[in-house]
């Protein structure tokens, strides 16, 4: 198994289509070599004319637009390749605003008029598709424009074949836009943000003396947490089936406080499922590499080697899809909900983020020469400034109804965004700020002269697992992302806010340099100013500690606890201004996202509340009544009193939930979201509290739902 080099990353690692990763020997399985089902650069090279291949490659490398005249030849080669591999259909895969992946299948075969069929796939069909846009949420963008949307081929994310026992499907990653060019999906803004960041970073690199780099790529590697449970339990729980989480369930006697699960051995069935998932993913060119048990029972993690943001984000969608479908082959169900079990650790998706040049320089790598240090400190300061300025937006970028149960629930970072730098790096910044050397570091800062920047610590060393945004040696790890989330928007935000901060710092640096200053000294000054102004966002203590909430508020940091609290940040003035300036999202596009996300919150809360009501009324209450009957028949005085009292309370709580589930007249938008949060979700919690007590008084054989102790521990 090849391990990724964390230092001195070769340019190949930053290849925009993730292709270079294919050269890593990630598998010993000769029948299923890495990327076997990917229309990779190697396949393209074999099958395209030399010129076409070169033009396509330069499109990929430089992020240029594709020459449409190439499309027919590429389409023909792609079709031949796909047919040879058994594909009968092709699909434009895209990511509507729901955060899911959508596809519409078309057959390659068309009747030829003689009763036979010919395989046909033109450049036009490759480049553009027209799904029925009306069935996807657009947050009103489409209403005043044409009702149609179209998918456009994204040549920077490689096409691949999804196998199925009964056939195979050629999948073409695409962007989804309205005819007026407005982004109806998650991919377009991400691509735009990558362009924005590249331009800003290249500008700054020139000032910093880098004349060689021409493109900067942002990279992501996501550590995905998930649960695997036996499907029998799943199908016996209407709440899991319809909402992805348990709406009822008392805490099991044996819980995750027994940490024998963490990094413990993996049960054979689970391991078999993981191995097959990994094999499938490798065939699709997804470079997955790690697996271990997570903290909670039944919880695991999978992580890929990082790729550029676009490919990494597409691959992450594919990973979730594969995890779900392979699990079923083993009689398991993969739960990607952020909090499937109350009182048990939830699942996140740590979004490791960095940026690197096409010459192979990871800009978040401290490096061991002073020149690297200058550049690292500059870009690191930009990240700090960006996160501080747009903390609310970052919080909003990970908001969802599932997250509301996870963030701050004692196993995940709170809803307050802060940065952990690590003690050594903090020392370096503090020394730059004060202009005074750290007596413990030999040869360090004595003056803000040319020698101000000593070698930096190579790796952050210490870790803080409670931080929502931590520097981890050569990348930042955005840990607040939810397990079911698409990575596209959080990374769109990261890229754009950092682009903005880089431009701001570069402008200041330029001024100082025009004044005829030394580069290192000028950078030190810029870093010092920015650090001083933004250091309130740094926090190295325990983020799970209650005291942090009070301190954060005192510092003026935002504590946006729930989705309705966070979403308005999407339309806040600094957000709108920035996205507009970098042409990543127009105000209309932002409004549409706000509306779609708010609507999803309302709809999901309602589905949960209705499901909770049904289960309580038609499963749990009857179980209580049966128990009471049993008690009455026993003739023993006093028996069943507890159940009786709880049943009465449950009846009342169900009544309250029933009322909450009726929407007040004329209420919509944010007001309705607040109704959902403060009335429906609150009433649901009320019902649950009583039901969970009943679970402990009613005989096992009468209890209608599989219990946590079964679901989590029986594999």
Interaction site with ligand ADP (CB under 6 A) = 219-221, 223, 303-306, 352-354, 362, 472, 474-475
Nearest distance from residue 202's CB to ligand ADP, in Å? 18
Say which residue the tokens 């038609």 belong to.
618
Q: Which of 350, 535, 627, 679 binds Mg ion (CB under 5 A)?
A: 350
Nearest distance from residue 225's CB to Mg ion, in Å? 10
| Per rule CB under 5 A, count of chain residues that contact Mg ion | 1
Nearest distance from residue 479's CB to Mg ion, in Å? 7
Instruction: For residue 477, list its beta bridge partners.
Output: 352, 470
Nearer to ligand ADP, 362 or 373 (CB): 362
Nearest distance from residue 662's CB to Mg ion, in Å? 44
Helix (H) or strand (E) holding 593: helix 587-615
- Residue 126 · residue 82 · CB < 8 Å: no
Nearest distance from residue 352's CB to Mg ion, in Å? 7
**DSSP character for 385?**
H
Nearer to ligand ADP, 306 or 341 (CB): 306
Nearest distance from residue 174's CB to ligand ADP, in Å? 24
- Residue 393 · residue 575 · CB < 8 Å: yes
Whole-angstrom distance, CA of residue 346 vs CA of residue 426: 30
Identify what 336 binds: Mg ion, ligand ADP, none; CB under 5 to 8 Å per kind: none
Nearer to ligand ADP, 243 or 313 (CB): 313
Nearest distance from residue 408's CB to ligand ADP, in Å? 22
Nearer to ligand ADP, 356 or 564 (CB): 356
What are the structure tokens assigned to 65, written together?
């637009």
Nearer to Mg ion, 480 or 590 (CB): 480
Identify what 305 binds: ligand ADP, Mg ion, none; CB under 5 to 8 Å per kind: ligand ADP
The residue number whose beta carbon is nearest to ligand ADP equals 221
Identify what 482 binds: Mg ion, ligand ADP, none; CB under 5 to 8 Å per kind: none
Instruction: For residue 302, list its beta bridge partners.
Output: 224, 291
**Which of 374, 386, 385 lies closest to 513, judged by CA?**
374
Nearer to ligand ADP, 352 or 661 (CB): 352
Nearest distance from residue 643's CB to Mg ion, in Å? 46
- Using the contact rule CB under 5 A, the part of the chain among 292-300, 336-344, 348-356, 365-373 near Mg ion is 348-356
Nearest distance from residue 506's CB to ligand ADP, in Å? 22
Nearer to ligand ADP, 256 or 315 (CB): 315
**DSSP character for 49?**
-
Handedness of CA 485, 498, 203, 183 (dihedral sign): positive
Whole-angstrom distance, CA of residue 307 vs CA of residue 459: 21
Whole-angstrom distance, CA of residue 80 vs CA of residue 217: 32
- Report residue 611: phi and psi, to 5°: -65, -45
Say how many C-beta atoms besides its own lie within 10 A of residue 418's C-beta: 26
* Residue 256 lies near Mg ion (rule: CB under 5 A): no
Say how many C-beta atoms besides its own lie within 10 A of residue 613's C-beta: 21
What are the structure tokens assigned to 633, written together?
């028949």
Nearer to ligand ADP, 59 or 354 (CB): 354
Identify what 304 binds: ligand ADP, Mg ion, none; CB under 5 to 8 Å per kind: ligand ADP
Nearest distance from residue 223's CB to Mg ion, in Å? 5
User: DSSP 3-state helix, strand, coil percentages of the chain (rounded to 5)?
Assistant: 50, 15, 35
Nearest distance from residue 13's CB to ligand ADP, in Å? 8
Whole-angstrom distance, CA of residue 335 vs CA of residue 229: 8
Cα of 189 vs its chain's centroid, Å:
15
Whole-angstrom distance, CA of residue 349 vs CA of residue 403: 11
Identify what 306 binds: Mg ion, ligand ADP, none; CB under 5 to 8 Å per kind: ligand ADP
- Residue 690 · residue 612 · CB < 8 Å: no
The residue number whose beta carbon is nearest to Mg ion equals 350
Identify what 173 binds: Mg ion, ligand ADP, none; CB under 5 to 8 Å per kind: none
Nearest distance from residue 219's CB to ligand ADP, in Å? 4
- Residue 634 · residue 642 · CB < 8 Å: no
Whole-angstrom distance, CA of residue 395 vs CA of residue 420: 16
Identify what 332 binds: Mg ion, ligand ADP, none; CB under 5 to 8 Å per kind: none
**Which of 421, 428, 527 lies closest to 471, judged by CA?**
421
Q: Pseudo-torsion of CA 445, 446, 448, 451, nearest 10°?
A: -60
Pairing between β-strand 167-178 and β-strand 87-94 as defined by DSSP bridges: parallel
Identify what 220 binds: Mg ion, ligand ADP, none; CB under 5 to 8 Å per kind: ligand ADP
Helix (H, G, I), strand (E, B) or coil at 657: helix
Cα of 530 vs its chain's centroid, Å:
29
Nearer to ligand ADP, 136 or 379 (CB): 379
Handedness of CA 7, 10, 11, 15 (dihedral sign): negative
Identify what 661 binds: ligand ADP, Mg ion, none; CB under 5 to 8 Å per kind: none
- Using the contact rule CB under 5 A, the part of the chain among 347-355, 587-595, 654-662, 685-693 near Mg ion is 347-355
Identify what 706 binds: Mg ion, ligand ADP, none; CB under 5 to 8 Å per kind: none
- Using the contact rule CB under 5 A, the part of the chain among 45-53, 343-351, 442-450, 678-686 near Mg ion is 343-351
Nearer to ligand ADP, 305 or 596 (CB): 305
Residues of the shown chain interacting with Mg ion in the complex, contacts defined by CB under 5 A: 350
């Amino acid at each position: 198994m090849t391990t990724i080099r964390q230092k001195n990353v070769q340019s190949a690692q930053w290849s925009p289509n993730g292709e270079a990763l294919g050269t890593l020997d990630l598998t010993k399985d000769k029948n299923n070599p890495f990327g076997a089902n990917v229309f990779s650069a190697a396949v393209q090279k074999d099958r395209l004319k030399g010129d076409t291949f070169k033009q396509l490659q330069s499109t990929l490398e430089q992020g240029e637009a594709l020459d449409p005249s190439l499309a027919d030849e590429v389409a023909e080669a792609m079709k031949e390749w796909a047919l040879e591999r058994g594909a009968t259909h092709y699909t434009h895969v895209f990511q509507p605003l729901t955060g899911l992946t959508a596809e519409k299948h078309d057959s390659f075969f068309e009747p030829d008029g003689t009763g036979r069929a010919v395989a046909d796939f033109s450049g036009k069909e490759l480049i553009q598709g027209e799904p029925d846009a009306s069935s996807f949420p657009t947050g009103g963008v489409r209403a005043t424009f044409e009702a149609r949307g179209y998918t456009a081929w994204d040549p920077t994310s490689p096409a691949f074949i999804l196998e199925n026992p009964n056939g195979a499907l050629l999948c073409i990653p695409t962007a989804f836009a309205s005819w007026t060019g407005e982004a109806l999906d998650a991919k377009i803004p991400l691509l735009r943000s990558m362009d924005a960041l590249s331009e800003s970073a290249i500008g700054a690199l020139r000032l910093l003396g880098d004349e060689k780099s021409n493109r900067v790529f942002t990279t992501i590697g996501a550590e995905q947490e998930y649960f695997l449970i036996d499907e029998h339990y799943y199908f016996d729980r209407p709440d899991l089936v319809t909402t992805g989480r348990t709406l009822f369930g008392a805490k099991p006697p044996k819980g995750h406080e027994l940490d024998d699960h963490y990094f413990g051995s993996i049960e054979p069935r689970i391991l078999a499922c993981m191995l097959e998932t990994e094999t499938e993913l490798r065939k699709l060119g997804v470079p997955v590499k790690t697996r271990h048990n997570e903290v909670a029972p039944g919880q695991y993690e999978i992580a890929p080697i990082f790729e550029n943001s676009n490919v990494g984000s597409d691959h992450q969608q594919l990973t979730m899809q594969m995890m779900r479908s392979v699990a079923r082959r083993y009689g398991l169900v993969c739960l990607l909900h952020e909090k499937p079990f109350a009182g048990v650790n939830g699942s996140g998706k740590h979004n490791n983020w960095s940026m690197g040049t096409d010459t192979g320089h990871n800009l978040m790598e401290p490096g061991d020469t002073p020149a690297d240090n200058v550049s690292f400190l500059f870009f690191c300061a930009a990240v700090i400034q960006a996160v501080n300025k747009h903390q609310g937006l970052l919080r909003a970028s990970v908001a969802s109804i599932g997250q509301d149960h996870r963030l701050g629930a004692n196993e995940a970072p709170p809803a307050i965004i802060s940065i952990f730098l690590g003690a050594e790096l903090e020392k370096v910044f503090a020394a730059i700020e004060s202009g005074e050397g750290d007596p413990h570091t030999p040869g360090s800062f004595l003056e803000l002269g040319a020698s101000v920047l000593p070698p930096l610590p190579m790796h952050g060393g210490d870790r803080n697992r409670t931080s929502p945004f931590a520097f981890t040696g050569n990348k930042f790890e955005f840990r607040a992302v939810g397990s079911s989330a698409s990575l596209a928007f959080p990374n769109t935000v990261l890229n754009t806010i950092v682009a903005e901060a880089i431009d701001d710092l570069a402008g200041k640096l330029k001024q100082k340099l025009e004044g005829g200053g030394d580069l290192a000294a000028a950078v030190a000054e810029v870093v010092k100013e920015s650090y001083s102004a933004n250091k309130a966002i740094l926090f190295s203590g325990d983020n799970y500690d209650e005291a942090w909430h009070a301190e954060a508020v005192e510092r003026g940091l935002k504590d946006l606890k729930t989705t309705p609290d966070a979403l308005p940040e999407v339309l806040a003035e600094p957000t709108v201004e920035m996205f507009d300036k970098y042409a990543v999202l127009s105000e209309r596009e932002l409004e549409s996202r706000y509306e779609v996300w708010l609507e999803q919150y309302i709809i999901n809360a309602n589905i949960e509340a209705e499901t909770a009501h049904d289960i309580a009324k038609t499963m749990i209450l009857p179980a209580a009544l049966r128990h009471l009957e049993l008690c009455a028949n026993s003739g023993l005085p006093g028996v069943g009193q507890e159940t009786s009292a709880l049943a009465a309370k449950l009846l009342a709580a169900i009544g309250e939930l029933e009322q909450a589930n009726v929407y007040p007249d004329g209420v919509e938008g944010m007001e309705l979201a607040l109704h959902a949060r403060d009335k429906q979700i609150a009433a649901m919690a009320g019902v649950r509290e009583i039901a969970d007590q009943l679970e402990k008084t009613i005989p096992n054989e009468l209890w209608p739902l599989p219990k946590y102790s079964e679901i989590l521990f029986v594999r």
